[in-house]
Amino acid sequence: MTDAQTIAARYIELWNERDGTRRAEMLAANWTGNARYTDPLASVKGAAEISGLIGGVQQRFPDFSFTLIGKVDGYGDHVRFSWGLGPKGAADAPIKGSDFATLKDGKIDNVTGFLDQLPQAAAA
């Protein structure tokens, strides 16, 4: 199994990738073909839907990027980590969450995301 820190770093890199072709390549390399992503605002399956969701978040927050927050943790085929979404270089991200990933054959197969901090304006 690839270590938890590497899985989380690749995950954040994917969410920051603005080129759709490159994002598709990253999904193929690091996620299973039928991977699922679910959070309070979305539920998608497969590379095309996951990439579309990421593209939509990037359109909504064009000047924001994702960063890892705190310690990445994992055991077996499970990884958990927290992230922030905010303006590049900002001292603190206005949007924060925690994600739990399940791996299959070393690739992300399922992600359940939780929104820990979401300003009212971002939820609308």
Phi, psi of 47, rounded to the nearest 5 degrees: -60, -45
- Fold category of 4-123 in CATH: Nuclear Transport Factor 2; Chain: A, (3.10.450)
Render each residue's pLDDT in the chain as its tens digit; 124 residues: 569 999 999 999 999 999 999 999 999 999 999 999 999 999 999 999 999 999 999 999 999 999 999 999 999 999 999 999 999 888 899 999 999 999 999 999 999 999 999 887 665 5
The residue behind tokens 């206005």 is 94
Indicate the residue type of 15: W
The pTM score is: 0.92
Residue 9: which of 59, 56, 74, 63 has the closest Cα? 74
Domain ranges for the chain: 4-123
The DSSP code for 105 is T
